[in-house]
Structures are given as C-alpha cells and as structure tokens.
Amino acid sequence: MDHQAQSSSQVYGLMAEFDSAQALLEAAQKVRGAGYTRTDAYSPMPIHGLAEALGMTERKVAPFVLAGGLIGCMTGYGLQFWTSVIDYPMNIGGRPFHSWVSFIPVTFELTILFAAFSAGISMIVLNGLPQPYHPVFNAKRFSTASQSSFFLAIEAADPKFDAGQTAAFLASLHPREVVSVDE
C-alpha cells in the first residue's frame, strides 16, 4: 500500500443523494464533465443514457459471447460428427454417416446455448459478483436506493478526488445530501 492510499484508506468515497432520475442523470453528466472517472450510480430502476453519461462505454462481454458461440458451434458439430461418423456409425435409411444437413439444428442450438451461458456468466464475473459486502452499504440511507432515491458515488481512488473539493463540487449539484462513505 502506498502513502496516498494509506492516508485515505478509511474513506471509500463521497456519495450524493438525488430525488429524481433526471437530477441524477444531469449530475452524472456534470461529474463526468469535471473529469471524474471512478464513479458509480445507484437507482431503483434503469435510467436511459445513465451508463453513457458516466462514460461506461466499454463492452467487455461481447468477446466472451463470441468465443462461447464459436465453442458451442464446434462442440455441437464435433459431438455429432464423433458419435455418428467415428465412434458409432450407424446406417440410417441408407444416408451417409456424415449427414451435415441433420447436424445443423443441434449445432445451432449449442451455439446459442454456449453464447447465452458465456454472456450471463461473463457479465456476472466481470461485474465482480457475487459480492456480499460493498462499502456503499455503510451509507445510512442507501437502502432507499432500491425504492425511492438516486445515488451518485465518487470513489476516493479517483485521481481527481480531494475530500474537500469533491464534497463542495457534489454539493453544487443540488443533491438532497452528500455523505462520506467509509471503507
């Protein structure tokens, strides 16, 4: 742990609470405009454009889905090829062992299945889930984030973070309140 992290190791960051989705969206745009990068927002429902406003444009799941789809495709075809041509060839109505036409449905299904699995699993893993503990739970009113309130957090790990200045900046966005969140 370096000196910088040690000095602020007790504080996770600052969190502002807003009353509406629109207020949160506008605040997120200003926070991004001010140059903060390690931010997150919490709301009771999905808000159109919020992820973009916070600069979350990375799409890390896509390559996993593609890889999953390709593996599923090869597994599906390979499985049928192995069983019907190599391991246990059977003469069915005089058709060739390698009947690629009838291999298509299973190949297609496994492609979709593996792609869907890798989409779901990679999404969960890349999000760091399951995560039973998160510092934001230390904020007293955070339980309302699942019902009525909208929160915007700036982490202390953000290179632009400064306890005093950041708190003043968040206060200027007209939140309901700004709280410091312990690690």
Partner 1 sequence: MTSDWKPAEMLKERPTADLSRLSSRGLLLGGVGAAACAAGYVMVDSLQFLQSYLIAYMFWIGLSLGSLALLMIQHLSGGAWGLVGRRVFEAATRTLPLMAVLFIPIALNLETLFLWARPEAATDPVLVAKAAYLNPNFFYGRAVLYFAIWIGLAFTLSRWSKAQDETAPVGPGPLDRRFRVLSGPGLVLFMLTVTFMSVDWVMSLDPHFYSTIFGVLTVGGQGLATLAFTILVLQGLSGSKPISDVTSAERFHDYGKLMLAFVMLWAYFNVSQLLIIWSANLPEEIPWYIERLQGHWAPWAVVVLLGHFVAPFVLLLSRDLKRHGRMLSRVALFVLVMRVVDLVWTIGPVFRHESTVHWLDFAMVLGMALPWLFLFYRNLGSRALVPANDPYFEEAVINEGH
In this structure, the number of other CB atoms found within 10 A of the CB of residue 54 comes to 19
Which of the residues 15 through 54 are near partner 1 (CB under 8 A)? 48
Of 56 and 171, nearer to partner 1 (C-beta) is 56
**Residues shown for the chain:** 183
In this structure, the number of other CB atoms found within 10 A of the CB of residue 164 comes to 7
Stretch that binds partner 1, among 7-15, 59-67, 133-141, 144-152 (CB under 8 A): 59-67
Q: How far apart are CA 162 and CA 154, in angstroms?
A: 10
Cβ–Cβ < 8 Å for 155, 38:
yes
Q: How far apart are CA 69 and CA 44, in angstroms?
A: 33
Q: Which of 62, 124, 125, 168 binds partner 1 (CB under 8 A)?
A: 62
Q: Judged by CB under 8 A, does residue 101 bind partner 1?
A: yes
Q: Judged by CB under 8 A, does residue 59 bind partner 1?
A: yes
Q: How far apart are CA 138 and CA 144, in angstroms?
A: 13
User: At closest approach, how far in Å is the CB of 105 from partner 1?
Assistant: 7
82: its two tokens: 């192995």
User: At closest approach, how far in Å is the CB of 53 from partner 1?
Assistant: 13
Q: Judged by CB under 8 A, does residue 93 bind partner 1?
A: yes
Residues of this chain that bind partner 1 (CB under 8 A): 48, 59, 62, 66, 93, 95, 101-102, 104-105
